[in-house]
Amino acid sequence: MEKLCETRTRWWSCRKLRQNSQPNLEPSLEQMLQPKSPAVYAFRVKMLIALKREREAYQDCIRGLSIDPKYAPLYSARSCLYMFREQYQYGIADATKALTLDPNCASAYVNRGACYAALEKYPQAQADLLKATALSPKDRDAWRNLGSVYMYLSKYQQAITCYTKSINIDPRFASVYWDRGCAYRMLGKFDLATRDLGIAQALGYSKQ
């Protein structure tokens, strides 16, 4: 019989931009079309990633950094793009650069932790994600990734705690219900596992 869920599926969330890195007000159309500051480029990068136009987002990171090579959020954003490309060492390098410039850049810890986890460097991933959750306790992706690290370390109860925090932040984060269901299943809590897997599917999650 096929297993209900695969507990070793590789899936990591990453944060595109630090939450407070955006301008206080959305840029005007003119600013968006002809950006002159790294903050506006950062806003454009966020929009382009949402539209899955990652090549253009990458180019905007380069353009923004040419204006201000010390603008940490753009290094963090580019580390996320490297994560999408599975170029994890580049992602780690950019996230580390962001943290050198801004030690409180929570998104860089999330992204670097995700890259470390993808490389199966779980102690480093755990350390980064714990730092991310301390700096940004309302970041659903940080808690989700930390839970996934605990799954790989077979620390299922700790994984459930992290997944629950992620769900409390975003109750419609469908894939995390699936993750938590897998953790419950590993602990033999099949009723809870079935409940969570059902919620994930009801919210539109389809396991790849």
Interval 31-54 mean pLDDT? 84
Q: Is the pLDDT of residue 22 over 60?
A: no
Q: How sure is the predictor about 145, in pLDDT bands with cuts at 50, 70 and 90?
A: very high
Grade residue 35 by pLDDT with cuts at 50, 70 and 90: confident
22-36, 74-88, 105-119, 120-134: least confident range: 22-36
Q: How far are the Cα atoms of 65, 114, 203 from residue 147, in angstroms, in the given order?
A: 33, 12, 20
Residue 11 has pLDDT above 90, yes or no: no
Instruction: Determine the Cα–Cα distance for residues 168 and 69; give it in Å rounded to an integer.
Output: 37
Region 122-138 average pLDDT: 98
Per-residue pLDDT at 27: 66
Mean pLDDT, residues 100-124 = 97
Alpha-carbon distance 151 to 153, whole Å? 5
Distance (Å, rounded) from C-alpha 88 to C-alpha 114? 9
Q: Which domains does the chain have, with CATH numbers?
A: 12-127 (1.25.40.10), 137-203 (1.25.40.10)
pLDDT for 189 equals 98
CA distance 83 to 89: 9
d(CA 190, CA 86): 34
The pLDDT of 82-111, averaged and rounded, is 97
Mean pLDDT (whole number) for 17-40: 60
Cβ atoms within 10 Å of 119's Cβ, excluding its own: 14
- pLDDT for 2 equals 34
Share of the chain above pLDDT 90, in %: 76
Q: Which residues contact 96 (CB under 8 A, 6 or more apart)?
A: 108, 112
Q: Looking at the predicted structure, is the pLDDT value of residue 168 above 90?
A: yes
* Mean per-residue pLDDT over the chain, rounded: 88
Q: What is the pLDDT, as a whole number, of residue 31?
A: 63
Say if residue 36's pLDDT is above 90: no
